[in-house]
Structure 1
Amino acid sequence: MKISVIIPVYNAEKFVSQAVESALQFDEVHEVILIEDRSPDNALQVCKQLIEKNDRIKLYQHPDKGNHGAGPTRNLGIQKATGDFIAFLDADDYFLPNRFDAEKELFKDPKVEGVYGALGVHYYTEKAKEQYYPVFGDKLTTVHKKHGPKDVFPGQIYLLGSFGLFSIDTLTIRRDALVKKMNILFKASLRLHQDSEFLFRLSYYLDLYPGILDKAIAMRGVHENNRITQVDSKKINPATTRVLLWQEVDNWAKNEETIPDHIKLHINRMYRSFRIATTPAPQKWGVILKHLISDYPSIRSGIYNINFRKNLF
C-alpha cells in the first residue's frame, strides 16, 4: 500500500507535529501532505520545520496564500496526492498504531473502494475535559455493527442514531475510485460539517467496508479552541449549522437522478426539520402550519425524531 495522508492545517501549531508523527509511524504511508490554510498562529513555521526533518512530508498552501476552510484545503490535498490510497487526518487529531491493520487486508480485494473504523476521544487539557466530557465521554464514534456497503448510505440517512457514525479520520479510500469514478470533492460552501456531507455522497457512490469498529484506530483531540467541539457541545446552535448541511444534501439529492424518490423525500424532510428548528419564534408556528398543510410527515419527522425535537422550541 502507498497511502497519502492529507492534513489540513489551521490554527494548529500546538498539535500538528503529533499528527504528522502519528502518520509517519507506518511504512505504508507514502507521504504526509500538509495544506496550510493561512493560520493566524505559528503553524506555517512549524510545518516548515517538519518538512526539513523528513522527505515524506510535503507542504502546500492555496495559490493565493489565503484562508479557504477545511473543505477546499482537503480538496487541494487530494489534487496533490500521489499515493494509491488516501487517508485524512485533522491537525489536532492523531492515528493509533492499529490505524491500517484492517485496511492492509481488506484492500487486497479490488472491489473494496473504501474502509472506515472507530474514533476515540483524547482531551488535551483538564479544562477541556471538564468542559466537554459530559458531551463526548470516552465513547467511540463508530458504526455499531458491520454492514454491507450498500447499507452504509441509507443507514446514515435514515438510521443515524442506531446505525452509528464514522469519522473522516478513520476513512481510507482508493484514490482512483475517488478521482476517476466519481470525482467527488468537499463542498467549499460549507465551513462546518463539510466532512459529513462528503461522507454521505461518498457512501452513495463508493463501496465502503467496515474495518475495526470495536476499538479506536484514531483519536479525536478535544480542546477549547476546536470549532466543531463548540458545535457539538451546543456553544454554537447545532441546528443553525446543520440546516446548511442538509440544504446541501437536499440540493445534491434533487439533482442525482439515481437516488430513489423515497430517499429524496426523506432528505428533504430532514432539511425542512432543521429549517423549522432555526426559524425565529414569532414565525415558527407559521412555518409549521405551512408544512403541516403541504407535507405533514415533514413536521412529524421534526417533532418526533430525537435529532430535532429538542431544537424546535
Structure 2
Amino acid sequence: MKISVITPVYNAEKYVTQAVESALQFDEVYEVILVEDKSPDNALEVCQQLAEKYDRVKLFQHPDKENHGAGPTRNLALEKATGDFIAFLDADDYFLPNRFDAEKELFKDPKVEGVYGALGVHYYSEKAKEQYYKLFGDNLTTVYKRHDPKDVFPGQLNMKGSFGLFSIDCLTIRRDSMVKKLKPLFKTHLRLHQDTEFLFRLSYYLDLYPGILDKAVAVRGVHESNRITAVDSKKVNPAKTRVLLWKEIHDWAQNENTIPEDVKLHIKRMHRSYEIALAPALKKWGMITKYLFTDYKSIRSGIYNINFRDYLL
C-alpha cells in the first residue's frame, strides 16, 4: 500500500508535529501532505521544520498564500497526492498504531473502495475537558454494527435506525475510485461541515466497508481553539450550520437521478426540519402547525432523528 495522508493545517502549531509523526510510524504511509492555510500562529514554521526533517513530509500553501478554509485546503492536498490510497488526518488529531490494520487486509479485495473505523477522544487540557466533556465524554465515535456498503448511505441519513458515525480521520479510500466517481471533491463554498457533506456523497458513490469499530484507530484532539468544538458548544448556532449542510445535500440529491424518490423525500424532510428549527419564533410555530397537518414526517424527522428540540423556543 502507498498511502497519502492529507492534513490541512490551521492554527495548530502545538499539535501538528504529533499528528505528522503519528502518520510516519507506518511504512504504508508513502507521504504526508501538509497544506498550511495562513495560520495566525507559528504553524507554518513548524511545518517547514517537519518538511526539512522528514523526506515523506511535503508542505504546500495556496498560490496566493491566503486563508481558504478546510475544503479548498483538502482539495489542494488531494491534487498534490501521489499515493494509491488516501487517508485524512486533521492537524490537531493523531493516528494510533492499529490505524491501518484492517485496511491492509480489506484492500486486498479490489471491490473494497473505502474502509472506515472508530475515533477516540483526547483532551489536551483540563480546561478543554471542562468545556467539552459533556459533548464528547470518553466515547468512541463509531458505527454501531458492521453494515453492508449499500446500507452506509441510508444509515447516515437516519433511515436505518441507530447507525452511528464515522470520522474522516478514520477513513481510507482508493484514490482512483474517489477521483473517478466523486466530483467535486470537497465543496469549496462550505466553511463548516465540508467533511460531513463529503462523506454523504462518498458513501453513495463508493463501496465503504467497516474496519475496526470497537476500539479507536485515531484520536480527536480537543482543545479550546478547535473550530468544530466552538460550533458544537453553540458559540456558533449549530442549527444554522446544519441548515446549510442539509440544503447542500438536498440540492445534490435532487439533481442525482439515480437516488430513489423516497430517499430524496427523506432528505427534503431532514432539511426542512432544520429550517423549522432556525426560523424566528412566530414563523417557526406557523411552520410547525402547517406541517403537522400537511407533512407530519418533517416534524418527526426533526424531533426524533435530529433532536432539534433545543432550538424550538
Percent pairwise identity:
78
Residue 169, structure 1, aligned to residue 169, structure 2? yes
Tell me if structure 1 keeps the 8 A contact 2:154–2:160: no
Tell me if structure 2 keeps the 8 A contact 1:178–1:184: no
Instruction: Work out the CA distance in 2 between the residues paired with 1:12 and 1:59.
Output: 14
Which residue in 2 is equivalent to 1:2?
Answer: 2
Report Cα offsets for 1:217-259 as digits up to 9, x if no partner: 0000000011111222233221111111101000000000000
Paired amino acid for 2:193: H
Instruction: Work out the CA distance in 2 between the residues paired with 1:189 and 1:79.
Output: 18
Tell me if structure 2 keeps the 8 A contact 1:184–1:202: no
What is the deviation of 1:287?
2.8
Structure 2: unaligned runs, 5 residues or longer: none
Aligned-residue Cα RMSD (Å) equals 1.4
Structure 1: unaligned runs, 5 residues or longer: none
Which residue in 2 is equivalent to 1:186?
Answer: 186
Question: Structure 1 residues 305 and 56, CA, compared in 2 at 3 Å: closer, same or farther?
Answer: closer
Residue 221, structure 1, aligned to residue 205, structure 2? no
Paired amino acid for 1:265: L
Helix, strand or coil at the partner of 2:26: coil
What is the deviation of 1:64?
1.4
Report Cα offsets for 1:186-210 as digits up to 9, x if no partner: 1112111111110000000000000
What TM-score, normalized by structure 2, do the two folds share?
Answer: 0.96
Tell me if structure 2 keeps the 8 A contact 1:93–1:218: yes
Residue 236, structure 1, aligned to residue 236, structure 2? yes
What is the deviation of 1:120?
0.1
Instruction: Work out the CA distance in 1 between the residues paired with 2:109 and 2:97.
Output: 23
Question: Structure 1 residues 184 and 226, CA, compared in 2 at 3 Å: closer, same or farther?
Answer: same
Instruction: Work out the CA distance in 1 between the residues paired with 2:58 and 2:290.
Output: 53
Instruction: Work out the CA distance in 2 between the residues paired with 1:201 and 1:181.
Output: 10
What is the deviation of 1:160?
7.7
| Structure-to-structure mapping, 1:11-160, within 5 angstroms | 11-159=11-159
What is the deviation of 1:293?
5.3
What is the deviation of 1:306?
5.0
Instruction: Work out the CA distance in 2 between the residues paired with 1:178 and 1:259.
Output: 19
What is the deviation of 1:282?
2.9
Helix, strand or coil at the partner of 2:144: coil
Which is further off, 293-302 or 89-98?
A: 293-302
Instruction: Work out the CA distance in 2 between the residues paired with 1:134 and 1:159.
Output: 27
Paired amino acid for 2:246: W
Question: Structure 1 residues 157 and 183, CA, compared in 2 at 3 Å: closer, same or farther?
Answer: same
What is the deviation of 1:134?
1.7
Report Cα offsets for 1:102-123 as digits up to 9, x if no partner: 0000000000000000000000
Tell me if structure 1 keeps the 8 A contact 2:8–2:34: yes
Tell me if structure 2 keeps the 8 A contact 1:34–1:60: yes
Tell me if structure 2 keeps the 8 A contact 1:303–1:309: yes
What is the deviation of 1:184?
4.2
What is the deviation of 1:181?
3.1
Paired residues, number: 313
Instruction: Work out the CA distance in 2 between the residues paired with 1:311 and 1:20.
Output: 39
Paired amino acid for 2:148: G
Which is further off, 94-103 or 62-71?
A: 62-71
Tell me if structure 2 keeps the 8 A contact 1:141–1:164: yes
What is the deviation of 1:296?
3.0
What is the deviation of 1:295?
2.6
Helix, strand or coil at the partner of 1:49: helix
Instruction: Work out the CA distance in 2 between the residues paired with 1:99 and 1:22.
Output: 10
What is the deviation of 1:310?
3.0
What TM-score, normalized by structure 1, do the two folds share?
Answer: 0.96
Tell me if structure 2 keeps the 8 A contact 1:303–1:312: no
Paired amino acid for 1:72: P
